[in-house]
Amino acid sequence: MEDKPIETFSPMPEPEHKMFLTDEAQYYIQIIAKWGNFLSIIGFIMCALLLLLGSFISSIMSSLSAMGGNPMVGSVQGAMTVMYVLIAIFYFFPTLYLFQFSSKAKKAILFANSAELAEAFGKLKSCFKFIGIVTIVVLSIYALVFIAGIIGMSTYSAFRQ
């Protein structure tokens, strides 16, 4: 018997190994990097403000509770602090990825370095992936709360009769 070579066909055509960025594309990447840098700096400031607000909310709520206010205020104090810290942490990571993208993209365009540009787009991918996963989780929580609300309302109306 004669051995025949097995031919494999890939469903996608092979990508080009060289890619040329036009001057217009480089200009757009440069503008995107500037705006990304601006938004990431604002994001870092917002993270810091959220952390400060979380610590001040705790102080304000404890002083309100000590002044004879609502006793529930004291129990909510820890939850509010944790909530603000968690929001700051979740906001920090996409902001960091956006900052890294901006820095690497600026450097890539400045020095015409395609490897640096690939790393920049990898950071942008991480930013969008993180935001996408958080969005899926939040939408899932909304759906569960909605379903729990419907079940709760139907249970309440059944027992009410």
With bands split at pLDDT 50, 70 and 90, how would you rate the model's confidence at 56? confident
Q: Which two tokens stand for residue 139?
A: 């939408």
Residue 78 Cα to chain centre, angstroms: 24
Q: Are 116 and 82 in contact (CB under 8 A)?
A: no
Q: How many Å apart are CA 49 and CA 55, to the nearest integer?
A: 10
Residue 149 has a pLDDT of 93
pLDDT digits (tens, 9 = 90+) for 85-132: 999 999 999 999 999 999 999 999 999 999 999 999 999 999 999 999
pLDDT in tens, 64-80: 666 666 666 666 777 88
Q: Label residue 39 exposed, middle or buried (CB < 10 Å: 0-12, 13-18, 19+).
A: middle
pLDDT in tens, 5-15: 665 555 665 65
CB 36 within 8 A of CB 102: yes
**Alpha-carbon span 125 to 116, nearest angstrom:** 14
Nearest to 46 by CA among 94, 88, 80: 88
Task: Write down the mean pLDDT value for the chain.
Answer: 87
Q: Copy the structure tokens of residue 51.
A: 């952390």
